């Protein structure tokens, strides 16, 4: 019998890696910028009559959720 751990045992072993600290404000900011670009594009497309107005609220919701994410990250950073 081999003394090396089985593949399953190696996969289930706890990780020894440390978490990477990233600035989520940057991540949320990039996401909001991309949603803003999409919003401008969809407003232009909607003005040409090519699409329905459903995509505009979706883009606006993406921007709003990004803003909430930025606020959450700022609050989390103040607490730690």
Q: What are phi and psi of 14, to 5 degrees?
A: -60, 145
Percent of the chain's residues with pLDDT above 90: 59
Residue 24's pLDDT is 93
CA distance 41 to 3: 61
Q: Is the pLDDT of residue 56 over 90?
A: yes
Q: Is the pLDDT of residue 3 over 70?
A: no
CA distance 46 to 27: 28
The number of C-alpha atoms within 13 Å of 37 and in the hemisphere containing its C-beta is 5
Sole residue written with tokens 């606020």? 71
pTM metric for this prediction: 0.74
Mean pLDDT for all residues in the chain: 90
Residue 56 DSSP label: H
């Amino acid at each position: 019998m081999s003394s090396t751990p089985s593949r399953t045992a190696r996969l289930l072993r706890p990780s020894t890696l440390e978490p990477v600290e990233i600035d989520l404000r940057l991540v949320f900011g990039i996401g909001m910028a991309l949603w803003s670009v999409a919003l401008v594009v969809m407003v232009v497309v909607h003005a040409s009559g090519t699409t329905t107005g459903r995509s505009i609220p979706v883009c606006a919701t993406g921007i709003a959720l990004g803003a909430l994410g930025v606020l959450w990250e700022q609050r989390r950073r103040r607490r730690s």
